[in-house]
Amino acid sequence: MHTVKFVCWEEDGVWLGYFQDYPDYWTQGETLENLKEYLKDLYIDLSSGQLPGIRRVEELVVT
């Protein structure tokens, strides 16, 4: 099991969300549970390595 953080909100009766590590890739659902299912599918696509040019947020430690 793997846990990832996502941002979500309801707007005009639709739930919107994206992953903190992949803020450019949003999805939506009719309910929060529906959104979570779409997010799972999106995460599989984004983390599979099969899609070219995926932009991701990373951290850099500067000393």
Q: Are 42 and 51 in contact (CB under 8 A)?
A: no
**Positive/negative CA dihedral, 10, 53, 57, 38:** positive
From start to end of the chain, where are the E strands?
Answer: 6-11, 14-19, 22-29
Position 21 scores a pLDDT of 95
Q: Which two tokens stand for residue 8?
A: 């979500």
Question: Is residue 54 pLDDT above 90, yes or no?
Answer: yes
Q: Are 19 and 46 in contact (CB under 8 A)?
A: yes
Position 2 scores a pLDDT of 85
Position 1 scores a pLDDT of 81
Class of domain 1-63: alpha beta
Instruction: Read off the pLDDT of residues 1-52 as tens digits, 9 standing for 90 and up.
Output: 889 999 999 999 999 999 999 999 999 999 999 999 999 999 999 999 899 9
Over its C-alpha atoms, the chain yields an Rg (Å, rounded) of: 13
pTM of the model: 0.87
